[in-house]
Structures are given as structure tokens and as C-alpha cells.
Amino acid sequence: MMENFVFPGLTTRVVFGSGTMARAEEEVRRLGHDKVLVLSTPHQKADAEKLATSLGSLSAGIFAGAVMHTPVNVTEEAVEAFRASGASAVVSLGGGSTTGLGKAIALRTGADQVVIPTTYAGSEMTDILGETAGGEKTTRRSPDIRPETVIYDVDLTLSLPVGLTVTSAMNAIAHAMEAFYAPDRNPVIVLMCRDALAAFRDGIPKLIEDPHDRTARAEALYAAWCCSTALGYVQMALHHKLAHVFGGSLDTPHAETHAILLPYTTAFNEAAVPELLAPIADAFGGGSAGGGIWDFARSVGSPLSLKAIGIEEADLDRATAIAVRNAYANPRPIDPGSIRELLQAAWEGRRPG
Ligand code: NAD
């Protein structure tokens, strides 16, 4: 039976294709700006310089200092550079770290944002900003955080290393997984998420064979857009909470952390809502959603245990304590004992279910 739903109809403009970075100037002007600051990580500074050159007189310079988990001290430095540059908007070229910095600047200055994503992390379509200070990550949502325009350019993802291609796709799949049981889900988002699972399942093995396969890259970037849209439309729960606990408090790499936790958080909630997670079991096989994702992760060489990324067994108690500190919506009730068990399985890398 069709459930009742609300479809909020959000307003981010999306340009998708190959060679679309060339449309950045037109998109900035469309928003009414004549000076923009280009943002990137140090690693992608050369691409940022190329973009700034193509923007000509629109470019007010580059800030190439974005780092993972949006530390507040970096944001303060970037806000100073933004104000000094005379820009009224930012163009964020990169993965979630660069998008996060652009959002943090926008929140503090009212700047408009054009985002050009180069990973599958999916920050671009959301009104969510996670920031770190004093060893803890806090997350907030606000309409002022949501980017105005997103330009997906398949060509920019050709250089994404295979390892990050895989873990970033798993990161995106995690948005779809939690969207399937989100209390505010709607049928359009569920459709997009189903399509994204199929596109990643088919596209990622092709990209392991040939990272420059443009058709598979387009499929994967389309899937990333679907998952990012899901993240921007509906509430997330236990999985994202745990990923933030590890990223914010133990400084683990974002995409790998999502990739490792995903089979375990899926299996945990599958015990409560198997019918809502059936699209995952349908997409990946394996007899269960949690088991199916674990099998897929193993087949594409995704990291399988928290141990493998340097987490000590003793850290699991601290992570559990932080994860259960505040209440949040989750289809299965959360208690310290069951979360500690979930984390133990994820630390060891045991196949769930
Ligand atoms: P990232 O942005 O840190 O990128 C990882 C590294 O890969 C960087 O050095 C980057 O420069 C490089 N890189 C990116 N794209 C590349 C490409 N195409 N070719 C070569 N190198 C490339 O990592 P990420 O996983 O994309 O993002 C993680 C961050 O995003 C975290 O801080 C996370 O909290 C945040 N995030 C936020 C949201 C949200 O809605 N607020 C959603 C998802 C992720």
C-alpha cells in the first residue's frame, strides 16, 4: 500500500555531464556574482588553478587549504581569505572536505556556493555541515548551508584513485541504506536509491578494471547524485552517527569508516525492518542486506574491519559511549550493549548475518 509522504521539492540547481566544468562561469553569473573564491584541498590545487584561470576576471583567487572533517581553525583562516578577496561566492572543487569548507564559509558570510564534486561522498546536495573542534564533530542543518548550484563533471572523476572510488561509493550507498528506513522518506527518494544501488553494483567492478571507463564513471557519478539527494532530503540515523563518532573523535578517514561500518549497521537495523531494507538484499544478493553488502564490499576490495584502519579494541568502549550519549531516530532501539557488539563485529571484520 502507498504510504503517506511529503516531497519537499528542494531547490539546488544541478548540471550533469562531461566537460561541464566549463559552465562554471555561466553558473556563477546566473547567481548574480562577479567575484568568486575557488576552494580546494592542497592535493587538488592544480585543478583549482585551472578552474580559476578559466573563470578569468570572475576569479578573486584560490584557497587550497581544505582538510577532512572541516576543522574550525581552517574555516576561520578561509573566512579571512574570503573577506580579503572581495568575493561574494565560493566555487568548491573537490570531495566532501572542500564542499564542507565552502558550506562553513557560506554559513558565516552568506556566500552563495557553486559546488563541483569530484568524489561520491555526497555533501553537495545537503543542508548538513559537520565541523570539528576540540576532538569532537558536531553536525547542524540549515537552509543557509545548502549549495545553490552543483556541477557534476564526469571528466573530473577519471582521476579518482581506485581505492577512493570504492570506499566513496560505499559512503554513498550508506546514504541510500539509511534513506530506505528514514521516517521522512518518500517514493521518489526510494526510487533514486534503488537506481543508485544498481548503478554502483554494475559500475564499480568496471572501474576497478579500468578507472578511465567514462560510461562507468558517469554511472557512478549519477548514483552519487541520487544518494546525495537522499542525504539532503531525509534524516539519517545510527550508521551516520557511528561514522561521525569515529571521524570526529578518532580522526578516521571518512570514506573508509563508512565503508567498514556499512554491512554492520545495515545488519543491525535489518533485524528490525527487513522489509524496508529488501532493496539492498535484492541488489546485492547474499541472502540478507547486511550479508549482501559485506559480500559486495569484499568483492570490490573495500576495507572490511576497523582493526585494518588502526582502531584499537580499547577505542570501542569510548566510541560506544559517545554514540549512545544523545537520542536520535533509529528503526531499532539503541543501547550500549548492542552497539558495543556491533562495533566488535566491525572491528574484527566478521561477515554479518
Ligand atoms: P575528501 O574530500 O577529503 O577527498 C579525499 C582526497 O581525495 C583529498 O585529498 C582530495 O583532494 C582527493 N580527491 C578528491 N577527488 C579527487 C579526484 N577526482 N581525483 C584525485 N583526487 C581526488 O574526501 P571525501 O570522502 O570526498 O569527503 C569527506 C568529507 O566530507 C568528510 O569531512 C565528511 O564529513 C564530509 N561529508 C559531508 C557530508 C554532508 O552532507 N555534510 C556528506 C558527505 C561527506
| Mutational pocket test of ligand 1: of 21, 38, 43, the residue with most ligand atoms within 8 Å of the beta carbon | 43
Q: Which of 127, 157, 187 is the last residue of a domain?
A: 157
278-290, pLDDT tens digit by residue?
Answer: 999 999 999 999 9
Question: What is the model's pLDDT at position 175?
Answer: 98
> Cβ(117) to ligand 1 under 6 A?
no
Q: Give the atom of ligand 1 at the shortest distance from the alpha carbon of 117.
A: 15
Q: Give the ipTM.
A: 0.99
Strand 136-141 with 128-133, pairing: antiparallel
Q: How confident is the model at residue 208 (pLDDT cuts 50, 70, 90)?
A: very high
Pocket flag, ligand 1, residue 231 (CB < 6 Å): yes
The whole-number pLDDT of residue 1 equals 78
Cα(98)–Cα(65) distance, rounded to whole angstroms? 9
Atom 17 of ligand 1 has which residue's CA nearest to it?
Answer: 160
Pocket test for ligand 1, best of 141, 254, 257, 258 (most atoms within 8 A of CB): 254
List the alpha helices (DSSP H) in the chain. 24-30, 45-55, 72-85, 96-109, 162-180, 187-209, 214-233, 238-250, 254-270, 278-284, 289-299, 315-323, 336-348
Residues 6+ apart with CB under 8 A from 1: none
Number of domains comprising the chain: 2
3-state secondary structure of 132: strand
In a domain, residue 323? The reply is yes
Q: Check whether 353 has a pLDDT greater than 80.
A: no
Q: Tell me, in angstroms, the distance from the centre of ligand 1 to residue 275's CA.
A: 32
**Which residues are paired to 38 by β-bridges?**
62, 91
Answer yes or no: is 1 within a domain.
no
Determine the average pLDDT of the residues in 254-280.
Answer: 98
Is residue 136 included in any domain, yes or no? yes
Q: Is the CB of 228 under 6 A from ligand 1?
A: no
Q: How much of the chain, in percent, has pLDDT values that exceed 70?
A: 100
Q: 92 and 114 share a domain?
A: yes
Does the pLDDT at position 271 exceed 90? yes
For the beta carbon of residue 183, count every other beta carbon within 10 angstroms. Answer: 10
CB distance 90 to 113 below 8 Å: yes
* Nearest Cα to Cα of residue 173 among 300, 350, 274, 44: 300
Q: Tell me, what's the pLDDT at 301?
A: 98
Q: Ligand 1 in contact with 123 (CB < 6 A)?
A: yes
- Residue 149 pLDDT grade (very low, low, confident, very high; cuts 50, 70, 90): very high
- Predicted local confidence at residue 345, as pLDDT: 98
- Are 130 and 172 contained in the same domain? no
84 and 17 housed in the same domain? yes
The reply to whether 186 and 325 lie within a common domain is: yes
- Looking at the fold, whether 153 and 169 belong to one and the same domain comes out as no
How far apart, in whole angstroms, are the C-alpha atoms of residue 325 and residue 117?
33
Q: What is the mean pLDDT of residues 139-147?
A: 95
In a domain, 6, yes or no: no
Report how far ligand 1's centroid is from the alpha carbon of 117 (Å): 8
Indicate whether 7 belongs to any domain.
Answer: no
Q: 209 pLDDT band (50/70/90 cuts)?
A: very high
All cell numbers assigned to 27: 553558473
CA-to-CA distance for 196 and 180, rounded, in angstroms? 12
- 138 and 170 fall within a common domain: no
The reply to whether 218 and 320 lie within a common domain is: yes
Task: Inform me whether the pLDDT recorded for 106 exceeds 80.
Answer: yes
CA atoms of 119 and 161, how far apart (whole Å): 10
The reply to whether 128 and 169 lie within a common domain is no
Q: Cα–Cα distance between 69 and 133 in angstroms, integer?
A: 10
Are residues 289 and 198 located together in one domain of the fold?
A: yes
Residues 6+ positions from 193 with CB-CB distance below 8 Å: 175, 176, 179, 180, 226, 227, 230, 279
What's residue 136's pLDDT? Answer: 75
Which residue segment(s) compose the domain that 107 sits in? Answer: 13-157
